[in-house]
């Protein structure tokens, strides 16, 4: 489902049932607030998983060298081992420094498999973060594309946009948000202009 379809689904879920006069802007603001909260939570969980992996293995990605073995080689043999990466079984097999030491090579393969298994927690967290990001962006586009039906709803949207911009730490990021040839702020301005024209 693309972003436009996702935003339409969010907007449809926020529309009041039975033709009531309730302004959907308020429900859309709350939908984005919850999506943003969920996105923040899963990003925190992903960062925690990445930190745990690094603390345990001494590297950001799966590697044939364990944290302990890398330290021993770097401190006792050559400090360049700090930067050696054996991130695939092919790299291990082709590594010249361990040729003639089949037991060591076997251990490297086993270590890489262990780290790859541990890394699945990060991959799962990354998938959740990507989904949460998509849902947050869909909720944000739904706000931009849905006309408030009251002046109070239009004012609430404007206040919320300022709040989101300030809390993000980058007040200009919404101005850079786009999908294909559409800029989020332009869509929002057009939507609010059309809504206000009907309200005055």
Segments making up each domain of the chain, as ranges? 41-129
d(CA 35, CA 47): 18
* β-bridge partners, 182: 179
**Three-state secondary-structure class, residue 59:** coil
Burial class from Cβ neighbours inside 10 Å (0-12, 13-18, 19+) for residue 166 reads: exposed
* Residue 40 pLDDT level (bands cut at 50, 70, 90): very high
Percent of the chain with pLDDT over 90: 77
Average pLDDT value for residue range 58-66: 97
Higher pLDDT, 73 or 17: 73
> How far is Cα 200 from Cα 185, in angstroms, rounded to an integer?
22
Which ranges in the chain belong to alpha helices (H)?
Answer: 3-14, 24-57, 67-76, 89-94, 102-145, 151-167, 173-176, 184-199
Mean pLDDT, rounded, for 84-95: 95
- Burial class (CB within 10 angstroms; exposed 0-12, middle 13-18, buried 19+) of 195: buried
Q: End-to-end distance of the chain based on CA atoms, in angstroms?
A: 37
Position 12 scores a pLDDT of: 47
Q: With a cut of 60, say whether residue 21 has pLDDT above it.
A: no
User: At residue 182, what are phi and psi to the nearest 5 degrees?
Assistant: -105, 130
Euclidean distance between CA atoms 93 and 95, whole angstroms = 6
Q: What's the token pair of residue 145?
A: 């594309």
3 state DSSP class of 60: coil
On whether the CB atoms of residues 28 and 143 are closer than 8 A, the answer is yes
Residue 28 has pLDDT above 80, yes or no: yes
So what's the pLDDT on residue 163?
Answer: 93
What's the chain's length in residues? 200
Buried b (16+ CB within 10 A) or exposed e, 93-107: eeeeebeeeeebbeb
pLDDT of residue 169: 83
Q: CB of 148 within 8 A of CB of 195?
A: yes
The mean pLDDT of the chain is: 90
């Amino acid at each position: 489902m693309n972003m436009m379809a996702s935003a339409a689904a969010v907007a449809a879920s926020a529309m009041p049932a039975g033709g009531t006069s309730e302004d959907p802007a308020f429900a859309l603001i709350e939908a984005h607030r919850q999506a943003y909260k969920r996105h923040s939570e899963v990003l925190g969980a992903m960062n925690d998983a990445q930190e745990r992996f690094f603390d345990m293995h001494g590297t950001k990605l799966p590697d044939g060298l364990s944290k302990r073995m890398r330290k021993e080689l770097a401190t006792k043999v050559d400090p360049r081992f700090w930067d050696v990466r054996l991130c695939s079984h092919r790299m291990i097999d082709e590594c010249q420094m361990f040729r003639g030491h089949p037991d060591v090579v076997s251990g490297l393969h086993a270590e890489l498999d262990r780290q790859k298994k541990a890394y699945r927690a990060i991959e799962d967290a990354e998938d959740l973060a990507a989904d949460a990001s998509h849902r947050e962006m869909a909720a944000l586009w739904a706000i931009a594309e849905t006309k408030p039906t009251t002046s109070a709803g239009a004012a609430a949207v404007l206040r919320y946009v300022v709040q989101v911009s300030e809390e993000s730490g980058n007040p200009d990021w919404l101005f850079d948000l786009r999908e294909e040839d559409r800029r989020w702020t332009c869509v929002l301005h057009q939507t609010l202009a059309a809504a206000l024209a009907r309200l005055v």
